[in-house]
Amino acid sequence: NITNCDQLKEWLLSRGHDVKSDNDGEMLVHTIEHFFAMELKKLKNSNNSGQRYAAFKTAIIEASKKTTGSFAAVVVDPVTELMACIKAGSSLYMGEGTHDAHGGFIIASSDLASVLSMTKIIYPIKEDEFALYTHEKADFYNIKTGDSIRKEKTRSHLKVEETELKKPFKYFMEQEIFSEVDASRKVINYFADKSPLIQLARKITVKDPEFVKELKREMLRLASITQLPTFKTEAVRFLKSKTAEKVPAFVKGCSPALSTLPFESFLADFFEELCGILGPEKSNPAIKFADALFMLEEIADIGFSVNAFVKRMAACYKNGNTAYFVACGTSYNAAKCASVFFNKIAGINITAYLPGDFRSQCLEAVENGDIIIGISQSGETKDLIDVFNQVKDAGKKVVNINVVNNVNSTIALEKSDIFIPLHCGPEIAVPATKSFINQLLVLYILAVYLAGHFSDENIKHVSKTGFEKHKKNIYRIPKLIGAAIKNSRDTVRQTGLDLFLEPSIHILATGMQGIAREGALKVREVVLNHTEGFEAPEFKHGPNTILGVNTIFGMEGVGGLVNKFSDTIKYAISRKAGKNFAAGSLYNIFRAVSDYAFFDIKPKGLSREETEIFTGIFREHNFFESMYTNYPLVFVTGPNSRDINLTISQINTHKIRGANIYVIAEENRILRDTAAKSVPSMYSKTYKSGYIVLPRTGDDLLVFFMSSVVLQLLAFEMSVRKMNFLDRLEIRDHGVHPDSPKNVSKSITVD
């Protein structure tokens, strides 16, 4: 996202560069090439690899001074094949690993998942840094000063196997929706700290801290080895070490199911790999115990962050400061939901803002001591990073708290006073699904913890009964998500069949605007149908004008028009005046019909017989009416009687004006009957309805989780149906795909 791209192009052309496009990436490469050539001219031997290295380094520094904006790039010296990766405001990740056939490698990419598919060993490259590297080594520098930077390799906390598509799934989006049960359960385990193995690890940590320190040190050393033969040798050596031999005595008496427990720490895939190499030693207690120690460390880190969050928020409330949510896209929709959670659970107001709205509505009003809570799945969202930078540049001393999935990201490492991980693993499909659910869950848990702190410290009155209910509900969420997925599949498929070719849809939620917006975003992303999410009563304040006669025509309307033309052809050749028409006369008539029906151009030059047929066609056929269909409205509501009655009222209001009604809610006979009943209108013959039943909870907040997953499944179902339909029609470049729809990417790293 180089903003002086046009000026760079003009400058480059004036200096003889053969610029082929207006792409800012090309301008960057030409600019580096320009300064590299200048440096090479100074050399006595331009083929000397050491001198070219220094020249390449200088060229990158000078080129960065010439550019304005942000970018990440990988460029190469074609002579020495020395590569440079540059992180200047956009996401960039580096890793080191070993390929079975080709040996050691170093990889750089703007996409973390692509790096993790090759290796788990990561170089933590930061903003305004670049690296010069080969397949064997990497040197790091500050892009402004050229100073050398020492880097320690780390192991990514994300699991490699979660980047692989597993049977029976054909798409990552579907796999990731179905994994939400486990992902939500995992994050609850990190907050709840109930595992007996974790309790044991905590006791041993207190009893023999030196042993624990040595065991963890050995595991981290093994995890950093990238050469497979060395790794195997060292793994066997460790198993025979005194440290490993001490473990059985510590875990003696622990549950016999210890060996069957899954690995759960950020080193889980490493431990599984280690067990695979050690063969029959797979159940070795040292490995399982080490996993528990690292999970304990992660739990402690989360506990520290949550405690810091609660204390900062309590101080913010007591001091009369303001807390803001700032996020984009799906994360913004999660923030809208979180505003409801914090209001209903902890009794405080935290308003959600898009970065642009925050800059225009809040930036000048921010006070020292305020809190900005950023939410980002990738941790690389450029608009959010810009907000943190602008607040800092304004001299405001605020607290930056971030909820992120990628703990190696710019936002987590460089823009946070406190960050809280989502622990949902990597997400490959572009549409956020499991990360959205975990965002909701983490924010729900934080609201519960804050309410508990308010109550314990007598800072603010919080209903004990309500607090205990919300606390218990945390543990119900994974099971409810699973039930929603299992029980809704048939009705979701039927609703998807009804909706996948609709050109426009409104999702109307009562008291859950964030859910309506997120459901609409999912449909827009993967189905490419225009969809809007509204607070349900708001629809009657203007948007409802789309109901009834309109000019929003989809494939069904086009099909109706084609059928109407077929009817009129049949009409023409069945009339006495048209029985002997030649092809030329039929062409004249239907050209005149098209011109008059759609452009109001009166026919000229028709014969008497042709005019007679033309007049009869418009007397007996209505072309536009053949294209009209009911407009689809999808209602989402919780079990609260007020919300249900409000939803029923909205359905009755809009149905008579030409709407098809679909409902996502817990079972309610009156609500179901209201949706199913057709009412007299000009569209009643084509009326459609549907009712997707959510598991019964009777809780106004749990419905956020269940309705979210149902809307995700609906968007997925519509996407696959539409993609297959357009493929059968051989429509090229339609861009409909559940994993990688056109024009969007997983992390947005441009302004």
Q: What CATH number does the domain containing 420 carry?
A: 3.40.50.10490
What is the average pLDDT value for the chain, to the nearest integer? Answer: 88
Q: Give me the pLDDT at residue 505, please.
A: 96
For 1-48, write each residue's pLDDT tens digit: 788 889 999 999 998 898 888 888 889 999 999 999 999 999 888 888
Residue 159's pLDDT band (cuts 50, 70, 90): low
422 and 483 together in one domain = no
Structure tokens at 711: 């809307």
Residue 143: domain span: 5-156
Place of tokens 């960065």: 64
Q: Give me the pLDDT at residue 749, please.
A: 45
For 174-225, write each residue's pLDDT tens digit: 999 999 999 999 899 888 766 666 777 777 788 788 888 888 888 888 888 8
* Calpha distance 119→97 (Å, rounded): 5
For 660-686, write each residue's pLDDT tens digit: 999 999 999 999 999 999 887 666 678
The answer to whether residue 597 sits within a structural domain is yes
Bridge partners of 692, per DSSP, are 664
Where among 128, 156, 184 does a domain terminate?
156
Per-residue pLDDT at 547 exceeds 50: yes
The neighbour count for residue 42, using CB atoms within 10 Å, is 10
Structure tokens at 664: 């996502």
The answer to whether residue 263 sits within a structural domain is yes
Question: What is the arrangement of strands in the sheet containing 418-421, beginning at the earlier edge strand?
Answer: 351-353, 323-327, 371-376, 399-404, 418-421
Where among 406, 426, 460 does a domain terminate?
460
Per-residue pLDDT at 751 exceeds 50: no
Tell me how many degrees the CA angle 515-517-523 measures, rounded to the nearest 5.
105
Residue 254's pLDDT band (cuts 50, 70, 90): low
522 and 639 together in one domain = yes
* Calpha distance 441→449 (Å, rounded): 12
Q: How far is CA 136 from CA 121, 147, 277, in A?
A: 14, 21, 25
**347 vs 164, residue with greater confidence:** 347
Helix (H), strand (E) at residue 557: helix 555-574
Where among 409, 433, 460 does a domain terminate?
460
Helical segments of 457-476, H only: 464-474
Helix (H), strand (E) at residue 530: strand 530-535
Question: What is the arrangement of strands in the sheet containing 103-109, beginning at the earlier edge strand?
Answer: 103-109, 93-99, 121-123, 154-155
65 and 209 together in one domain = no
* Calpha distance 590→502 (Å, rounded): 28
Q: Give me the pLDDT at residue 196, please.
A: 63
Q: How far is CA 428 from CA 68, 114, 751, in A?
A: 31, 9, 22
For the segment 713-742, the average pLDDT, to the nearest whole number, is 93
CB of 393 within 8 A of CB of 407?
no
Helix (H), strand (E) at residue 87: strand 83-88
Low-confidence winner among 130-139, 475-484, 612-621, 638-647 (lowest mean pLDDT): 612-621
Residue 165's pLDDT band (cuts 50, 70, 90): confident
The answer to whether residue 307 sits within a structural domain is no
For the segment 291-307, the average pLDDT, to the nearest whole number, is 88
For the segment 509-535, the average pLDDT, to the nearest whole number, is 96
For 259-286, write each residue's pLDDT tens digit: 666 777 778 778 877 777 766 454 566 7
Residue 580's pLDDT band (cuts 50, 70, 90): confident
CB of 535 within 8 A of CB of 546?
no
Q: Give me the pLDDT at residue 591, please.
A: 84
423 and 329 together in one domain = yes
CB of 120 within 8 A of CB of 156?
yes
The answer to whether residue 165 sits within a structural domain is no
Per-residue pLDDT at 291 exceeds 80: yes
286 and 388 together in one domain = no
498 and 405 together in one domain = no
**312 vs 224, residue with greater confidence:** 312
Question: What is the arrangement of strands in the sheet containing 129-133, beginning at the earlier edge strand?
Answer: 71-76, 83-88, 129-133, 138-142, 148-149
The answer to whether residue 268 sits within a structural domain is yes
If you ran DSSP here, which 8-state letter would residue 89 be given?
B
403 and 529 together in one domain = no
* Helix, strand, coil content of the chain in percent (nearest 5): 55, 15, 30
CATH of the domain at 93: 3.60.20.10
Reduce the DSSP state of residue 133 to 3 states and report it. Answer: strand
Phi-psi region of 735 (alpha: psi -120 to 50; beta: other; left: phi over 0): left
588 and 639 together in one domain = no
Q: Which of 522, 555, 504 has the alpha carbon at shortest distance from 722?
A: 555
* Calpha distance 643→655 (Å, rounded): 18
Percent of the chain whose predicted confidence (pLDDT) is above 70: 94
Q: Which of 331, 380, 302 has the alpha carbon at shortest distance from 126?
A: 380
352 and 265 together in one domain = no
Structure tokens at 131: 């690296």
102 and 149 together in one domain = yes
Q: Give me the pLDDT at residue 682, please.
A: 67
pTM: 0.82
Q: How far is CA 414 from CA 323, 404, 454, in A?
A: 20, 13, 30
Structure tokens at 26: 């090309």
The answer to whether residue 616 sits within a structural domain is no
* Calpha distance 742→748 (Å, rounded): 14
* Calpha distance 545→283 (Å, rounded): 65
Place of tokens 């959670």: 341
Q: Which of 589, 587, 582, 583 has the alpha carbon at shortest distance from 612?
A: 589
* Calpha distance 371→305 (Å, rounded): 15
Helix (H), strand (E) at residue 491: helix 477-499
Q: Give me the pLDDT at residue 625, please.
A: 73
Q: Which of 387, 427, 386 has the alpha carbon at shortest distance from 404?
A: 427
18 and 80 together in one domain = yes
The answer to whether residue 465 sits within a structural domain is no
**701 vs 281, residue with greater confidence:** 701
- How many independent structural domains does the chain possess? 5
The answer to whether residue 468 sits within a structural domain is no
For the segment 333-358, the average pLDDT, to the nearest whole number, is 97
* Calpha distance 42→392 (Å, rounded): 41
If you ran DSSP here, which 8-state letter would residue 2 be given?
B
* Calpha distance 437→448 (Å, rounded): 17
- Label residue 429 exposed, middle or buried (CB < 10 Å: 0-12, 13-18, 19+): buried
Place of tokens 């964030």: 514
Specify the length of the chain in residues.
Answer: 751
Per-residue pLDDT at 372 exceeds 80: yes
Q: Which of 512, 494, 542 has the alpha carbon at shortest distance from 662?
A: 494
> Terminus-to-terminus CA distance in the chain, angstroms?
7
Q: Give me the pLDDT at residue 83, please.
A: 95
For the segment 594-607, the average pLDDT, to the nearest whole number, is 83
β-pairing, 689-694 vs 659-666, is parallel
* Calpha distance 172→236 (Å, rounded): 36
Helix (H), strand (E) at residue 353: strand 351-353
Reduce the DSSP state of residue 71 to 3 states and report it. Answer: strand
Structure tokens at 126: 């930061």
546 and 563 together in one domain = no
* Calpha distance 8→35 (Å, rounded): 13
